Amino acid sequence: MSFTALLKLGRGLRTSLSVLPSLKLTWETSLSPQASSTRIFQKLLDKGNEQQIDDLLTDNGILLAVPKKKVSHQKKRQKLYGPGRKQLQMIHHLNRCPSCGHFKRANTLCMHCVGEIRHIWKAHTVKETSQPIQELELSELDKRVLYPGKKETEYTKN
């Protein structure tokens, strides 16, 4: 392209942009949420500044797409597991645990055996304390002084 062709193209763009502000939009302004955005849009078109037209299309927020509501659980699942490689994949590397016989993934621990070990470990390490240590060391006289209105019932005796 020659320099003169670029100048002609630039003049043509300027004339086409100068026509844009003279366009009138015929939107109904009966609905209040749309009325305010329509007035703003109309004012921006009436001013006739090229920079404002660029701003109108880029960063003022009128024409930008924004989600209006939270995506439902069902829609999330459909999108996540629906098409192509996003679907749930079958696990082909399953083996049986040699000690208990439950199914487990290859090269991992059996979750049933891990649960059994945790249960046994907790049973041996947890000490049951019926009363706090301070209460065990108190004599009857100390208990009467500390708890003057306390009376033993059949339930607490057993």
pLDDT in tens, 80-118: 777 777 677 788 999 999 999 999 999 999 999 999 999
% the chain with pLDDT above 70: 58
pLDDT at 9 over 90: no
29-45: per-residue pLDDT in tens?
A: 444 556 666 777 777 67
For 94, the enclosing helix (H) or strand (E) is: strand 94-96
Q: Where are the alpha helices (DSSP H) in the chain?
A: 3-19, 32-47, 50-58, 73-81, 111-125, 133-136, 140-146, 154-157
Quick one: pLDDT at residue 29? Answer: 47
pLDDT at 26 over 80: no
59-77: per-residue pLDDT in tens?
A: 555 666 788 899 999 988 8
Quick one: pLDDT at residue 105? Answer: 95
- According to DSSP, the residues that pair with 94 across neighbouring strands are 105
| pTM of the complete model | 0.32
